[in-house]
Structure 1
Amino acid sequence: MTSFRISEAAALLGVSDDTVRRWADAGRLELERAPNGMRMVTGTELVRLLGDEPDGALADAFPLARASARNRMLGLVTAVERDGVMARVELRAGPFRIVSLMSREAADDLGLEPGCSPRRARRRP
C-alpha cells in the first residue's frame, strides 16, 4: 500500500501541512506510524477523504469547490486543436501539463486560444 508523508498528502489535497495535522487530530484523517516513527497517510485514506462529499473535510476547506475546474484553474493555454465536434486543449499549470477534451462549442464559448488563461478567457454571448 502506498503511503505519503504529511507534506506530500497536503500537496495532493491542496492544503497546508498544518491542515492535514489538524484533520488528523480531529479524527477526520487517520495517520499511521512508519517504521522510522514518521506519521504517514495511506493512499486509501486520501481516497476516503476525497470521497467525503458533500460535507467532508475537503468540502469544509474549499466551500467553492462545486464550481467547475475550468472556472478556477490557474494556468496558460498552450495549444487548442479543434475538429468538427471536439476540441483538445493543452494547459500548463505550474510544472504540470494538462490535456482536456471538450466540445468545440465549449472551447469556443470560453474563447480558449494559445496564450490565454482559462480563468481570464471570456465567454462569448
Structure 2
Amino acid sequence: MAEWLRIGEVATAVGVSVDTLRRWEAEGRVEFERQGGKRVLRADRLADVLAHRPAGAGSSARNRLAGVVVAVEKDGVMAQVELACGDFRVVSLMSREAADELGLAPGVRATAVVKATTVIVEAGRGVESG
C-alpha cells in the first residue's frame, strides 16, 4: 500500500511553502491527488518534487529549515539573525552587508541552510546518570 504525504509534509521535506507547492501545481510542475478534499502526494513521488526546488538546491547542504526571522541585531560589520523554524531556533552570524542585501528583518520568511562540519557536545542535557 502506498504511503501518502499531505501537502504540508511535502512542503517541509522540499523546503518550500505550501503556497509555492500550490503555485507549482497550477503551473503543472507537480500533481497532487485529492483525498477527502486534501492535497496528497504518494511518498515515492517526492523525488519528482525535489527536482523543482528553488535556486540553491544544487548545494551540497541538505539541511534546510524554512522559517521566519524573529530578530536581527547589527553592528558596524556583523549581523546576528535569529529564525524560528518550527520547533527549532536557528541563529546565524553574517556580515551586515549580507543581511542588508537579503532584506532580513523580523517577519521576513527565510530558510536556514545548514552545512555542519563540527559537532558540538553539550554536557548535562539529556544525559541520564546511573
TM superposition score category, shorter chain reference: 0.3 to 0.5
Give 1 or 2: higher strand fraction.
Answer: 2
TM-score (norm 2): 0.45
Question: Which structure has more helix as a fraction of its residues?
Answer: 1
- Compute the TM-score of the two structures, normalised by the length of structure 1: 0.47
